[in-house]
Structures are given as C-alpha cells and as structure tokens.
Structure 1
C-alpha cells in the first residue's frame, strides 16, 4: 500500500504520459521562472544605471555652476540656475549645503544615508538607494573641498525618486507572472500532445500484444513504424513471440504424438483382451495372450519413463552424481551387451581411442547405448559400426558411425525432435522405435554441458556425442541445464 504523500509511489502509479507531461511542465516552470527573474533583474539594473547616470550628469552641471566666476557667488543667480536645472527633470531633487551645515539650496527634503561609521571624503562620490516616507530614492552625494571657487567646502546631494520605477516593476511583474502561467499551461498542453504522439508506437505495441493469443501466435510488432529507442524492445518482443510460437507448435505436435503413440499399444491391449474374452480358451492360450499384453505394457512403461525423463530435462535436469567416467570402458561394456544382436545382424563393432568425462555414469551409459542401438538398427547386414573417442583441449568427442542408408536433409533437421522417426525402411525390418532415444541423448549431453550432432552421406551416418573432458581435481558438483 502506498502512503499518502509518497512522491515515488505516486509517480509509480501514474501513467507514462502523465509522468512525462508533469516532468516537462516542471522543466518549463523552472526555465520560465529563471527567465522571468533574469528579465526582472535586468530591467531593475537598467533603471538603476540610467538613474545614476542622470544624477551624475546633473551633479557635474552643479559643480560647473558652483565653479563659475570669481567669488563671491551671487546666491540668487545661482538659485535661479539650479531651480531651472531641477525643473528640467521632474523626478530630480537637489540639496546643497556648506561643510559647516548651512543649507545653500534645497529643492526637496533629501536625506542621504551614509554607511554607518563612515564620513565624507573630499572628491569621493557615494551612491545609495533608500526609502523615505514610503518614497524610494536613488542618490549620489559628494564633498567639494575648500579649494573651490565657491569659497568654502560644500556637500552636494542629488537624488531621483524611484516610485515610477517601482510601479512599473509591479505592473511588469504581474504581467510577467500572467505570461508565465499561460506559457506553462500552453507548454503543458504541447508537452502532453508531444508525449502522446511520441508514445503512439507503444500503444500500437500494446494493441498488437493484446491480439496475441494461443490461437494467434503469428502476430508480430511493426518495427518499421517505431522509433529507434523502441525498435530494440520490439525486436526482442518479436523474438519472444517466435519462441512462444515455436514452443506452442512443438507442444501441440508433442501432445498429438503422445496420443498417437499411446493409442497403438492401448488399442492392441483392448483388441487382444476382447478377443480373449469372446470365447473360452485354454491355459496356454491365456498365457500367450498375457505374455503379449506384458510386451505392450513394457512398451508403455518405457515410453512413459522416457517422457518423464524429457519433461525433467525441459525443467532443468539435475545430475544425480558427477564422477569420473572412462568412456572407452563404458563403450566396451555396451559392446558386450549388443554383441549377440550384432552377430545376428552380421554387424562388426570396432572401438578406438581413449577419453574420460565427469558426469553421471548411468545417464552417460544411456546416451551411448541409444547411439549404439540406433547404429545397430540402421546398419546394413555385413556392415561396420565404428566408435571413435577423440580428446581435445576442453572436451571429448565420441563418434558413433555406421554404414547404411544415408539420412535425408529433411530428416536431419528434425531427427532430434521427440517421436520423430525417419523412413521405416532404414531400420531393415527391426522393431520400430518410439522416436525418443535421440531426444533423450541430446538432453543428457546438454545436462552435462555438451551436445550431440549428426552428419550423413556417402553411405555412412555418424553421430557425435560431445562431453566436457575430465580433469584431475575437478570438483564433484551437481550441474543442470536450463
């Protein structure tokens, strides 16, 4: 549950469009606020610069007036000139007094605030901004030395009332704030439209993904209409759909194959049972029927066991043990087991090479047995089965080659699929297999970190079982393939 006031939680609940719109609006507000403050400060600094330049100009004129003519200065004439100077600027105020404190001229109540603890220095000009009776001023004051033609030291103070500037800035700030609010609303709207337009490919992907069902796995996302930032995502989603479609098709075929494979022995059992019950029979006849049924039950049991093994392989086949396995020795044991069948088929078994791996002995025996059994099944009478063990730097290869009819290119593509069987004529009259031996061999090889491959041509077929090589000191750890 998300607590009230939790901003990350609130952002998580928002849609991507709303989140991007709010972020865009926040950025716009920050930019507009910064721009507004910059403009306001620039205008205020411009007014200050203009005011101080105006005061400087008037003070220079006052100094020029005070320095005109030899003393004594006609005060009335000077006052008339100064009044005319003040009247030429409606917001200017001028105050002149002697260094002894006597007021020589004053156009208004102008009181310049000197910094605390500081006194006027001759020739130095002081600038200040202050307020007096709710009226703002900017002003400059300076002390003329006694060496002037006025005959004595005087303090000249000039100031300009800034009330008009204050009113202007207040009006300007209100207009600027109104503009910022309207600009923020407009940018938010434009941002929402831009984000919605930019996320249109995501909505298209959503619509296409919604159309994908178990019956319509052929739907794919249109990569030609999505931007570069989303094309990689769309490509991976399409690849995922490809894998799902392949898995669903394989599962559908697997279910169909299971039904087909189980139907034959069950049909045989039912037929034999019905026939046996149709009339009374002798004990020997019942015994023969039960023996025949037992063969079908054994076939069902092997098939169910193989399917359970492959199901475990699909979900991560765990190796019961990881011991050192001498492959040459295991092949020799299997040759002893298949010797009688090979002699009956007039097939020669040969073995060469040495090598060892690390894994589960029973599972490796099963994989090798499947390959040798498959070779015996498809070798022509009088043919040769050759088992070669080759050791590389990090892996060992067991090649099981037999002479016989080559496997077609079409069959090679599906030979490791479950329940897939090649042309029955290749088995040369032997009992038909269930089509699970080679898939089990591949599952065992991959569980050990290896694989199995096949090549066929020139009247010879060769299966290659690849396993990791056993090294001294290799830890006995359980491995799994996911």
Structure 2
C-alpha cells in the first residue's frame, strides 16, 4: 500500500474547505443579488403600470389614448429595456413603444392574465416569459377602464437580458475566484503543513540516530509543540524501557555466563586432576560424585532460566484455584522438616485456618519453596523459621521469616534481581547449599503472574519475605 503524505492531505483538505466555503458564500451572494435585482426591476414595472392606469383614468376613449400616447409612453422613455403596448378589446394596437423592437408585442404568453381594472397591481402580477428572439421578459398585462366605459389592455414589459448577463458575469467571477482561492489555499496549506510538520521530521531524525550502542540518547522535548509533547514523552519512556531491558539482558547474559563458568570450570578441573595420574576406584567415584553435583547445579540453573523465559511470555497460562493457605504452608514445612532438623533449625506454621486464596498451586509452592530454601541457607543453628498466612487490607499475605544476620536495607530490592547475591563470597558456595542467584527472581516473577507483590524486610530481629496476593485472587 502506497504511503500517503500528511502535508499533501492537509493541503488538499485546506483547498477543499476553501472551495466549499467560497462556493457556499458565492452561491448565497449570487442568489441574494438575483433576488434583489428582480425585486427592484419588478417593483419598477409595477409602479409604471400603476402610473399608466392613473393616466388612463383621465382619458375619455380609445381615440384619446392614441391622442395622448406620448403621455403614456413617457413612463418608459429613456429605458431601452422597457416597453409599453396598449391594445383595445378588438386587439387593435393603440400605443406601441419599443414593443416591436424587443419583440414583445406578440405573441404574449397564453397563461399571462390581465389584471382587472378594479384590482390592485402588485408584484405578484408579474409574469415571466421569453420573447420570440429568446429574450427573457418580465411584464404585467393590466386592464384600463376609460371614461366612456370601454377597456383597453396595457402591457408593461422589461427585457431582463442585461440582468442575466450581469448575473452570468458575476457567476463566472465567483467560479474564477473560487478556483483561484482553492489553488492559493492548496499552496499555502502545503507550505504551512510542511512547516507545521517540521517537529515531526525532527523527531524522526532524532529517532534515526538511536542505535543499540546509543540507547541512552533521548529526543529533545524543549522545542516540541504541545500537541507532540505526549508523543515525544511516550517515545522517550519507550526508549527508557528498552534501555533498561537491554541493560538487564546484557547483565543477565554476563551473569549467566559467569555462573555457568563456575560449575563448568569445576567439572573440567576435577576431570583434569583425576586424569593427571592413576587414581583408586574410590577417588574416581569421588570425582564422579562431585561432577554429578555440578551437573545437577547446571541443570537447576538451566531449568530456572527456562522458567523465567517462559513466564515472561504473554501466553504463559496460570491455573488458579482456591487453596487453604495454612494447609499448603504446613505441607511445605513438612517437606523441609528433615533438612531443617539436620541444620538444627525449627520450623513453625502460623495463621488463621479460614484464610484461603486463589493461586496456581504449583507456582505458589515453588515460590514458597524458594523462600524457605533461602531461609534455611542463612539461618543459624538453633534458630527458628516461621511461615505465616494472614489477611491484610491489600489482600492475603504469606510471610516467611527467619532469624539471622540482617540484610543491608539498600540491598532489599536488589536481592530480587537475577543472579544477584548480597554476599559475593557466596558465589563459590558448594552446589549442595549454593544458589544460582535465581531463586528470589523466580519468586517475584511468580507473584507478578498472580498480580501480587514480593518484598523483603530485614532488621536486627531477622529477615521477613512477604508475598501479597491481591483481593482479585484472594477469598475468605
């Protein structure tokens, strides 16, 4: 599909609007002028007919009409477009002025009525017709009663050719001015549109300079018109999101490569050491067991990465159903009870048994498992980890609290980032207790899938991870 020029579209719109406006105004003026001219000419014709009737009232007979023809024709003298034609009841011409010249003496229109001598002559008495020569005519045929009781018919006519020519000339000028105005509007509209759209071209030019290497570049909003301010701000906000996304992907890739390099290096190092000289069967078995642990660590890391990738897909589906929060926490605590006993850590479950929520059971269990596993790693022996379910104003809360060293408040948000660890020394922890740095990131992703939140609090009393399921997914 061919692209359309916005400037050309606006110019055409301006031209079309100008043509419509000129046409409407010109038509109104044309018809107003036409009515005004006809009204004035018809009024003159009526007045002349009335004067002729008054003069005829003073005449005794048809002979007097011939005798005083000059008095009657004086009403139309000096006007080449006016004519007077008087005939008696037998059709004999008594007075003729200009009628033969204009061709209005005969034939008259058959539908032209005579105004009776006792009727008032008005503009409604005007009749329109065309003379044999094609001239447009307006006229009145009125009966005149003489003193001897006889009647004659006086026809006062006006040739409207000059008026039609005037209107035709006026109409042609309106057409010319309308067309000229449209062309001028097209030109001015094109120039104004091009100038008005200059900020759009500037925005496009600025956007064209933004590449992967220059994602920190932003579009200047200082000189942008108000109408484009929202668009510019939206584009800059989009660039901010893209920049953060690229930075996160870059950091994510670097962290993933770094974390995968550690187990791979361990695998390679143990294999090289084992092959450096002859070993006993027990030593080879120890190497294989160590390599198996590293493989499991890689497997868990890859599984976590794949889960995060799937969770970010728009078509990721959660199967929500109603769950007993305390019952689920109890089941999870029982699963970790053996590990906790080995570490000398106590597990407790608290909460109102009536608290229920709607969640994807597998995802919820995975989130709490990750929090509990994290708490077990950092809880000193002899301390307690508490799991609690409770109702709150903003929904249903699941809290996993453990005693131990507090986390720096500045790091409480960063610990949810992928591959982030608050203590760099833990990056070299054995796979049996170590983490790929994705556990808390998975927790937050799972909560986002539920429309909830995951946050952490830490002080001298310990650390608390709080999962909040909003009212939309919580029931009582």
* Greater Cα shift, 112-121 or 98-107: 112-121
Name the SS for the 1:86 alignment partner.
coil
Aligned to 1:421: 421
Name the SS for the 1:422 alignment partner.
coil
* Greater Cα shift, 232-241 or 63-72: 63-72
Judged with a 3 Å threshold, the aligned counterparts in structure 2 of structure 1 residues 318 and 84 are, in CA distance, closer, same or farther, namely: closer
Aligned to 1:362: 362
Which deviations, in whole Å up to 9, do the C-alpha atoms of 1:123-172 show, x marking residues without a partner? 2432022221122222222223x3x4474222221112222223323333
Q: Distance in 2 between matches of 1:414 and 1:435?
A: 11
Q: Distance in 2 between matches of 1:149 and 1:181?
A: 62
Task: Decide whether the 8 Å contact of 2:109 with 2:129 is kept in 1.
Answer: no
Task: Decide whether the 8 Å contact of 2:129 with 2:138 is kept in 1.
Answer: yes
The alpha carbon displacement at 1:80 in A equals 2.4
Aligned to 2:127: 128
Correspondent of 2:466 among 464, 467, 477: 464
Which deviations, in whole Å up to 9, do the C-alpha atoms of 1:71-97 show, x marking residues without a partner? 787445512223444332232111112
Aligned to 2:281: 283
Q: Distance in 2 between matches of 1:82 and 1:269?
A: 133
Q: Note if 1:53 corresponds to 2:50.
A: no
Aligned to 1:440: 442
**Count of aligned pairs:** 460
The alpha carbon displacement at 1:220 in A equals 2.9
Correspondent of 1:191 among 177, 189, 192: 189
Aligned to 2:389: 389
Judged with a 3 Å threshold, the aligned counterparts in structure 2 of structure 1 residues 416 and 394 are, in CA distance, closer, same or farther, namely: closer
Correspondent of 1:42 among 18, 27, 32: 32
Correspondent of 1:351 among 337, 349, 352: 349
Q: Distance in 2 between matches of 1:70 and 1:33?
A: 57
Task: Decide whether the 8 Å contact of 1:96 with 1:106 is kept in 2.
Answer: yes
Task: Decide whether the 8 Å contact of 1:319 with 1:360 is kept in 2.
Answer: no
Task: Decide whether the 8 Å contact of 1:317 with 1:447 is kept in 2.
Answer: no
Q: Note if 1:65 corresponds to 2:55.
A: yes
Q: Distance in 1 between matches of 2:315 and 2:408?
A: 31
Aligned to 2:453: 451
Which deviations, in whole Å up to 9, do the C-alpha atoms of 1:349-404 show, x marking residues without a partner? 22211334344433322211111121222234443322211135894321111222
Q: Distance in 1 between matches of 2:161 and 2:112?
A: 29
The alpha carbon displacement at 1:105 in A equals 0.6
Give the alignment's Cα RMSD to 1 decimal. 3.0
Q: Distance in 1 between matches of 2:360 and 2:71?
A: 118
Aligned to 1:373: 373
Q: Distance in 2 between matches of 1:415 and 1:150?
A: 127
Q: Distance in 2 between matches of 1:99 and 1:270?
A: 137
TM-score for both structures, normalised by structure 1: 0.85
Judged with a 3 Å threshold, the aligned counterparts in structure 2 of structure 1 residues 162 and 322 are, in CA distance, closer, same or farther, namely: closer
TM-score for both structures, normalised by structure 2: 0.86
Name the SS for the 2:30 alignment partner.
helix
Name the SS for the 1:357 alignment partner.
strand
Aligned to 2:151: 153
The alpha carbon displacement at 1:279 in A equals 2.1
Task: Decide whether the 8 Å contact of 1:124 with 1:142 is kept in 2.
Answer: no
Q: Distance in 1 between matches of 2:206 and 2:35?
A: 60
Aligned to 1:249: 247
Which deviations, in whole Å up to 9, do the C-alpha atoms of 1:224-256 show, x marking residues without a partner? 434444333333332222222211111111111
Q: Distance in 1 between matches of 2:61 and 2:356?
A: 125
Q: Distance in 2 between matches of 1:115 and 1:389?
A: 106
Q: Distance in 1 between matches of 2:403 and 2:180?
A: 87
Judged with a 3 Å threshold, the aligned counterparts in structure 2 of structure 1 residues 328 and 197 are, in CA distance, closer, same or farther, namely: same
Q: Distance in 2 between matches of 1:161 and 1:184?
A: 36
Q: Distance in 1 between matches of 2:159 and 2:76?
A: 13
Aligned to 2:6: 16
Aligned to 1:168: 166
Q: Distance in 1 between matches of 2:148 and 2:43?
A: 25
> How do 1:286-365 residues align onto structure 2 when only pairs under 5 Å count?
286-316=284-314, 318=316, 321-353=319-351, 354=353, 355-365=355-365
Q: Distance in 1 between matches of 2:442 and 2:411?
A: 17
Q: Distance in 2 between matches of 1:174 and 1:199?
A: 37
Judged with a 3 Å threshold, the aligned counterparts in structure 2 of structure 1 residues 333 and 40 are, in CA distance, closer, same or farther, namely: closer
Q: Distance in 2 between matches of 1:435 and 1:72?
A: 128
Q: Distance in 1 between matches of 2:142 and 2:285?
A: 136
Correspondent of 1:81 among 68, 71, 75: 71
Q: Note if 1:97 corresponds to 2:97.
A: no
Q: Distance in 1 between matches of 2:107 and 2:475?
A: 97
Judged with a 3 Å threshold, the aligned counterparts in structure 2 of structure 1 residues 392 and 409 are, in CA distance, closer, same or farther, namely: closer
Judged with a 3 Å threshold, the aligned counterparts in structure 2 of structure 1 residues 173 and 326 are, in CA distance, closer, same or farther, namely: closer
Name the SS for the 2:436 alignment partner.
coil
* Greater Cα shift, 294-303 or 323-332: 323-332
Task: Decide whether the 8 Å contact of 2:398 with 2:467 is kept in 1.
Answer: yes
Q: Distance in 2 between matches of 1:463 and 1:202?
A: 48
Q: Distance in 1 between matches of 2:153 and 2:21?
A: 47
Q: Distance in 1 between matches of 2:469 and 2:413?
A: 22
